[in-house]
A and B are shown apart, each in its own frame.
Chain A
Amino acid sequence: DQQVKQNSPSLSVQEGRISILNCDYTNSMFDYFLWYKKYPAEGPTFLISISSIKDKNEDGRFTVFLNKSAKHLSLHIVPSQPGDSAVYFCAARRNYGQNFVFGPGTRLSVLP
């Protein structure tokens, strides 16, 4: 039972263009979402979060959009840089105190 899905295993984008990573979830009780970035041989690092009371959150080049009716969120990276090449995990939590469920990840390659 995969509650958090990232249906694109990989994505390639040209440097300077927009990267859009998608995440779908099945549990309508999820109320908080995180994106993590992972480089090879390193642990995941927190990137950006969004609460279910919002539909958008921005942090520099990174913006996360949440569409609750569609149970869908997306991470936009503008402009994309070669250093953004990594695996991106979406994670969701049911309510405060509960643990996060992670998606399988999307590997982003930003081409110079």
Chain B
Amino acid sequence: EAGVAQSPRYKIIEKRQSVAFWCNPISGHATLYWYQQILGQGPKLLIQFQNNGVVDDSQLPKDRFSAERLKGVDSTLKIQPAKLEDSAVYLCASSLVKGKNIQYFGAGTRLSVL
């Protein structure tokens, strides 16, 4: 079974530029999550999708962050414009159904904003 795929693995941009991350969850997983992990901290949930609908985006900074999952499969997370404090690893995870206990994580995208 293929795992959660994320790209790119690394991205370096200057502040005020825009960036996009892509995630392809495990086949058949209805629920998709985007997390932000700042160095030295645990993952923090940014947004959760159930199929192509948003379930929870309460911690997503909506003035600069956006995410979509148009066909209920893969997803993109965008930051526009980026700030220095957005430097982090962005993790995508998926689970079979909403609330299912175990989430499967991708390797993440490490973003550096200079």
How many angstroms from the CA of A32 to the CA of B7 in the assembled complex? Answer: 31
CB-CB < 8 A to A43: which residues of B? Answer: 4, 91, 93, 104-108
Cβ-defined contact, B42 with A34, below 8 A:
no
CB-CB < 8 A to B91: which residues of A? Answer: 43-44
* B102 close to A (CB within 8 Å): yes
* B103 close to A (CB within 8 Å): yes
* A42 close to B (CB within 8 Å): yes
Select which of A44, A49, A98, A105 is within 8 A of B105 by beta carbon: A44
Select which of A9, A44, A93 is within 8 A of B43 by beta carbon: A44
Per-position binary interface string of chain A over residues 85-112, scored 1 when its CB falls under 8 Å from any chain B CB and 0 otherwise: 0000101010011111111110000000
Q: Interface size bucket, B side?
A: 20 to 34
Select which of B33, B43, B107 is within 8 A of A41 by beta carbon: B107
Select which of A41, A42, A45, A104 is within 8 A of B40 by beta carbon: A104
How many angstroms from the CA of A41 to the CA of B9 in the assembled complex? Answer: 9
Per-position binary interface string of chain A over residues 25-38, scored 1 when its CB falls under 8 Å from any chain B CB and 0 otherwise: 00000001010100
CB-CB < 8 A to A32: which residues of B? Answer: 101
Given A43-B93, A44-B105, A98 and B99 contact (CB-CB distance below 8 Å): yes
Per-position binary interface string of chain B over residues 2-27, scored 1 when its CB falls under 8 Å from any chain A CB and 0 otherwise: 00100001000000000000000000
Select which of B9, B40, B48, B107 is within 8 A of A99 by beta carbon: B48
Cβ-closest 8 pairs across A and B? A43-B105, A102-B42, A97-B99, A46-B102, A44-B105, A102-B43, A104-B42, A43-B107
A residues with a Cβ closer than 8 A to B are 4, 9, 32, 34, 36, 41-46, 49, 89, 91, 93, 96-105
